Amino acid sequence: MRMFNCDYLEGAHEKILERMAETNYEQTVGYGEDGHCSAAAELIKEMVGDKDAYVQFLVGGTQTNMTILSYLLRPHEGVISADTGHIAVHESGAIEAQGHKVITLKSEDGKLSAKDIKAFVKTYWADETADHMVKPRAVYISYATETGSLYTKEELRDIRKVCKKYDMYLFLDGARLGYGLMSEKSDLTIRDIYELTDVFYIGGTKQGALFGEAVVFNSGICHKEFRYYIKQKGGMLAKGRLLGIQFETLLEKDVHGDCLYFRLARHADELAMKLKKGISELGFELYSDSYTNQQFFILPDKLIKKLSRKYSFSTWAPMGDGRTAVRICTSWATKEEAVDALIEDMAKAASKLGIK
């Protein structure tokens, strides 16, 4: 069985395992205050071009989202999200459990638009009884989004402008940041991301680490006492060094000025584009036009069934016409042979089933 369900099917890049083994008997203080964490934080500050950026390491995505939003918002404040946003759908109500409303705006492609955000907040503030409604105080976006789409620099700037105007934080979920930045369609750098948001994170879990998300606060934003929140929400890893070591390994520059994190992301994106091309050429429709490692196709149910003996994908949405939208992911760990084999097997199966 070859799985393409998601981008966290394997362990970690072997360099990470090696580094963990090498450092295993070092004695370090706990809770992210060790030398590996500071070294990794330094690497990040350099990448974003601001030595005053504030960096902390957490374990997973839901945890990171809820910790940051709990920190940014007061009890009467909520966060605006696309209705497809991870915090709006797939976190079992973690944000509401912190007491905050996720205010959802309809989205066609997983992205929020500056225009829609502005329309919403303008109406809100024009209402005489605004204090009977949740105050919008933050905007949550993801890059790449849950459906693989990407904001352009201009779109991000426009959202940023609306946020500034209406005194809202802009928070970017970077669980798939590398896959986004390394996409052939991306016109953003990590420095742009840093400069255009108030806080974002560099996702490790889905991009070569065992686990771990590196939170980066813009130096213009208060981060005082953020560590209390990490501890209170259960996200402060006792052996915090494990996060430091992983991000050191992923982010340290090689001779070309490149780093493992981006190399792995590029690899996955390239294979995703090969997959997209290959499956499209078989005549199957895209469910979402993604240029990142998550690809979405609408496939006939009988084809899915036939392939399911050998391959597994994520079911995304039944189309109600004998077809289903599926997500097929590549990752840092995907091999080119696997992609080739999938396309070939899909072609054969389609042909056998007499599908176009």
Q: Does 238 bind a second copy (CB under 8 A)?
A: yes
Rounded distance between C-alpha atoms, residue 224 and residue 44, angstroms: 19
Of 184 and 228, CB closest to a second copy = 228
Q: Does 138 bind a second copy (CB under 8 A)?
A: no
Quote the strand ranges of the chain, DSSP E: 2-3, 54-58, 77-82, 102-105, 135-142, 169-173, 199-203, 213-217, 285-288, 294-300, 311-312, 314-318, 323-329
Residue 103, H or E segment: strand 102-105
Q: Binding segment for a second copy among 108-116, 141-149, 235-243, 284-292 (CB under 8 A)?
A: 235-243
Q: Does 21 bind a second copy (CB under 8 A)?
A: yes
Of 75 and 354, CB closest to a second copy = 75
To a second copy, the closest distance from the beta carbon of 57 in angstroms equals 13
- The interface with a second copy within residues 192-221 (CB under 8 A) comprises 205-206, 210-211
To a second copy, the closest distance from the beta carbon of 250 in angstroms equals 15
Q: Does 12 bind a second copy (CB under 8 A)?
A: yes
Rounded distance between C-alpha atoms, residue 202 and residue 317, angstroms: 28
Of 46 and 167, CB closest to a second copy = 167
Rounded distance between C-alpha atoms, residue 352 and residue 308, angstroms: 15
- The interface with a second copy within residues 76-135 (CB under 8 A) comprises 76, 78, 89-94, 96-102, 128-129, 131-135
Residue 161's CB is within 10 A of a number of other CB atoms, namely 14
Q: Does 235 bind a second copy (CB under 8 A)?
A: yes
Q: Does 227 bind a second copy (CB under 8 A)?
A: yes
Q: Does 309 bind a second copy (CB under 8 A)?
A: no
Is the dihedral angle over the CA atoms 64, 70, 72, 77 positive or is it negative?
Answer: positive
Q: Binding segment for a second copy among 54-62, 215-223, 299-307, 348-356 (CB under 8 A)?
A: 54-62
Rounded distance between C-alpha atoms, residue 322 and residue 339, angstroms: 25
